[in-house]
Amino acid sequence: MSLNKRNERRIALRAALILTAVCGLLLTEACGVRSDMQDQPRYDAYEKSDFFSDGRSSRDYPEGTVARGHLEENKAFYTGKIDNPDPNAQAATSTDANGNTVVASFPNAVTEFPLPVTKELIDRGEERYKIYCIVCHGQFGEGDGMVVRRGFPKPPTFHDDRLRNAPVGHFFDVITNGWGKMNSYGYQVQAADRWAIVAYIRTLQLSRNPDANLQMTSSANSNTASPANAAKPTAPAANAATTKGGAK
């Protein structure tokens, strides 16, 4: 190999080594900057802090803070209860032959729907009922759903006099908060869909007793006081529940 070629190879090797060193230095600097950005001073949730007198880094929301879209001024629509309910009013209860705790009185429950009862609302209620309720309460509300046939506790039928005479707010409250062996569905089913289910339950009751004096009316101010999406409920997250048989 000639002397010139050897010199050229040495020069190329030195250039490659210098280039490698420069790239390594640049990568080290870049990684150092990224590490500083990732590990910037901050407090994690519930971490102790000496800055505040109570020693907590997490601060409470200011009094009266309400999440956007969750003011829920319409008490009847969101709770099924009358305005200014009596917090000390107690529902009379008893136990039926199946061991269910059943209510015999319905204090503070609204007697009229807080939104217009339309065919669309009832159709929506039927759809939601067949997702969330039919497994325990059965196709026609007799309390003979599939999980009951497989050994779960039998819920009361919707067609006895007690529940036929129950105000609509009672059904909404039970769906929202649960009762007896029935779990709460407040998180799975949004408020408008809960009222749709109640409307469908009333329809089932009327199908057996067409001459009964069952309330299917809306409150006088339902067209103005209800949320804008009440007449057309939107679909909630698809997470159909199959819990234990409920009691109302």
In the chain, domain spans: 81-225
Nearest to 218 by CA among 111, 137, 124: 111
Burial 49-78 (b: 16+ CB within 10 A, else e): eeeeeeeebeeeeeeeeeeeeeeeebbbbb
Query: Which pair of tokens denotes residue 228?
Result: 């804008």
Side chain identity at residue 208, one-letter code: R
Residues 6+ apart with CB under 8 A from 73: none
Residues 6+ apart with CB under 8 A from 177: 184, 186
Q: Which residues, listed in sequence order, are joined to residue 53 by a DSSP beta bridge?
A: none
Q: Beta strands of 46-114 (E only): which ranges?
A: 93-95, 101-103
**Highest mean predicted confidence (pLDDT) among 35-49, 50-64, 85-99, 183-197:** 183-197
pLDDT in tens, 158-175: 999 899 999 999 999 999
Contact 245, 129 (CB under 8 A): no
The fold adopted by the segment(s) 81-225 is Cytochrome Bc1 Complex; Chain D, domain 2 (1.10.760)
Quote the CA–CA distance of 155 and 152 in Å, as a whole number: 9
**Pick the residue with more confidence: 223 or 214?**
214
DSSP 114: S
Map residue 109 onto helix, strand or coil.
strand
Nearest to 96 by CA among 155, 49, 159: 155
Angle at 92 between CA 90 and CA 98, to 5 degrees: 135
pLDDT in tens, 90-137: 888 888 777 777 888 899 999 999 999 999 999 999 999 999 999 999
Tell me what pLDDT residue 175 has. Answer: 97
pTM greater than 0.75 (yes/no): no
Q: Per mean pLDDT, which range of 31-45, 99-113, 193-207, 223-237 is the poorest? A: 223-237
Quote the CA–CA distance of 39 and 169 in Å, as a whole number: 53
Q: How confident is residue 222, by pLDDT bands cut at 50, 70 and 90?
A: very low
